[in-house]
Each structure stands twice: as C-alpha cells, then as structure tokens.
Amino acid sequence: MNYSKKDRFLLMINKYVLIIATLIILLPLLYVLLASFLEPNVLLSKGISFNPDDWSVQGYVKILQNEAIIRGFFYSILYSVGFALATVIVSILAAYPLSVEGFRGTKVIMIFFLITMFFSGGLIPTYLVVKDLGMLNSIWAIILPGAISVWNIILARTYFRAIPKELQEAAKIDGASDLLIFFKIILPLSKPIIFVLALYAFVGQWNSYFDAMIYLEDAKLHPLQLVLRSILIQNEVQPGMIGDQLAMAELKKMSEMIKYSSIILSSLPLIIMYPFFQKYFEKGVMVGSIK
C-alpha cells in the first residue's frame, strides 16, 4: 500500500508511542525482578545495579525458609485448583441441559440464573449464610459461593450449542442415555471451553484475597495473597523471618528485599503459564463477547 508523506509520519509517531507504552508496562516489572536479586544495601544506596558483585539470592533464601509463605503457596494452589474444579463441574453440568433443543424449562431456569446478575444479597447477608452453614475457616467457604457463575454457564452453553446436533441425534437413536451422550460425545469435544473456564477460575482465585480475608479467620489457612498483603502493605515482618539479634536497620533492609522476592514468587505460576496459554486467555475474552 502506498502511504503519503503525512501518513508515513503518522505511522512513525504511532510506532514510537507504542514503544513508549510497552516500556511503561515493562520497566516497573523489570525493576522488581532486578531488585529481587540485589543486595539490600545496594538497592538502598545505589538503586538498580548491573554489577554481578551486587547480586544476591538472599531474598529468595529468606522467603523459602518462611513457613507462612510456603504454607500460603500450597493453600493458594489448593484453593485455586479446588475452585477451578468446582466452577467447571457446576458450569458445564448446568449448561448442557440448557443447550439441548426442546429442553423444557430452559426459559424459567435462565431467568432464575439471570436475576442473580442484577440483584445480589450483598456482603453481609452472604457472609451470614456462609457463617450459619458452619463454613467459616474451611475450604468450602472459598470454593462454593463463587463456583456458581451465570456468565460461565452462558459461555459453556454457547459452546455446546455450536456442536453439530447430528452426533447427539445419532447416538440417541442408537439408544444412548443422556449421561452417555454427555460424557462420550459432548465432553471430548468441549476441551477448549473447559480449559478456558478452568484457567480463568484458577487465575481469579490465585489473585484474590477478599473471600479468604472475610471467611478464613485462622491465619494458618491463609492463601499466599493474604500473606503477601501483610508483607507488602501492612509492612509486617513475618515471625522467624529475621533473627532477633539483627538491628532495626538490618531488619528494614531485609524486609525491603523480601518484598521484591515475594512478589516474584507469587507471580511465578502465572508468569510461567501466561505465554503458553495466551491463546486460551484471549479466547476466553472472545467467547464472552458473543452474547
């Protein structure tokens, strides 16, 4: 395509603005990554340094020895996997009947679900229900209330509807039950949507702290994000992280260092997953746009 002089100039500006935008995103992230590998003294006095003599893995050693962080990491995995499983099972089971042509009650059931998109009981009444069920301080409080999502049901239903009907019809004529059709025909064809739902649920749970904060009063059950909150935002030094003999100044330096390394540790699973699964994440957004 031929561009005029003015257009070529615009395209050049476009290029530079995009480069700047990328740098704005990238630089803070790189700063944290580099800072996590620096001696705390260096960071405080000189700032970022590229001299290998200033590098250290002390921050990582400290957090890997820390019980609260390690425990939080495993609880985060447990909660996120559990939440992803529950979300996927509930959503696809509910979506299948609603995708079946001629299924009686579709309309009433959809309205029943959709109402919850507009009206919600709010924080306190939901909290009281969870409390009355005796779910406080249990994994169920994290997994069950959020597992039901109208949005996910709609996504899965849209996907199921696009599966050619002939397969199910043929199976039905051969006398296959609904259960058999669902497990032998629908599920094998639905791996992408299952994957997308699970991925979103996992990431959402991994990154959230609110439900854990209100439902898990016992600090021993806290996921990583809550442990991080106390380190990063409330500036609490985890017990046992720093020996008592260390002076106040040393303590401050250490806690600075731990901040950076714990940010990296907590983001690690997603950093590793993200480039491989970018396609699926994007798919999730796109499926969602089809109403």
Partner 1 sequence: MTTDSKTNVFHKKKSLFQYMKQNYMLYLFLAPAIILTIIFKYIPMYGSIIAFKDFSPMKGIWASDWVGLEHFTKFLTSPNFGDIFMNTLKLSVYGLVLGFPVPIILALMLNQVKRASIKKNIQLILYAPNFISVVVITGMLFIFLSPTGPINTILSFFMDNPISFMSDPDAFVSIYILSGIWQGAGWASIIYVAALSNVDPQLHDAATIDGASLLQRVKHIDLPTLKPMMAVLFILSAGGIMGIGFEKAYLMQTAMNIPTSEIIATYVYKVGLQAGDYAYSSAVGLFNSIINVILLVFVNYVVKKLNEGEGLY
Q: What residues between 201 and 230 interact with partner 1 by CB under 8 A?
A: 203, 206-210, 214, 225-226, 228-229
Task: Give the binding-site size for partner 1 (rule: CB under 8 A).
Answer: 98
- Site membership for partner 1, residue 290 (CB under 8 A): no
Decide whether 44 or 251 has the Cβ nearer to partner 1. 44
Stretch that binds partner 1, among 50-58, 61-69, 123-131, 190-198 (CB under 8 A): 123-131
Q: Report the residue from 111, 124, 247, 249 that binds partner 1 according to the rule CB under 8 A.
A: 124
Q: Report the residue from 63, 84, 98, 142 that binds partner 1 according to the rule CB under 8 A.
A: 98
Shortest distance, position 74 Cβ to partner 1, whole Å: 17
- Site membership for partner 1, residue 111 (CB under 8 A): no
Q: In the range 68-87, which residues lie near partner 1 by CB under 8 A? A: none
If DSSP states are collapsed to H, E and C, what string results for the chain?
Answer: CCCCHHHHHHHHHHHHHHHHHHHHHHHHHHHHHHHHCECHHHHHHCCCCCCHHHECCHHHHHHHCCHHHHHHHHHHHHHHHHHHHHHHHHHHHHHHHHHCCCCCCHHHHHHHHHHHHHCCCCHHHHHHHHHHCCCCCCHHHHHHHHHCCHHHHHHHHHHHHCCCHHHHHHHHHCCCCHHHHHHHHHHHHCHHHHHHHHHHHHHHHHHCCHHHHHHCCCHHHCCHHHHHHHHHCCCCCCCCCCCCCCCHHHHHHHHHHHHHHHHHHHHHHHHHHHHHHHHHHHHHHHHHHCC
Q: Report the residue from 109, 136, 139, 189 that binds partner 1 according to the rule CB under 8 A.
A: 109
Decide whether 245 or 289 has the Cβ nearer to partner 1. 289
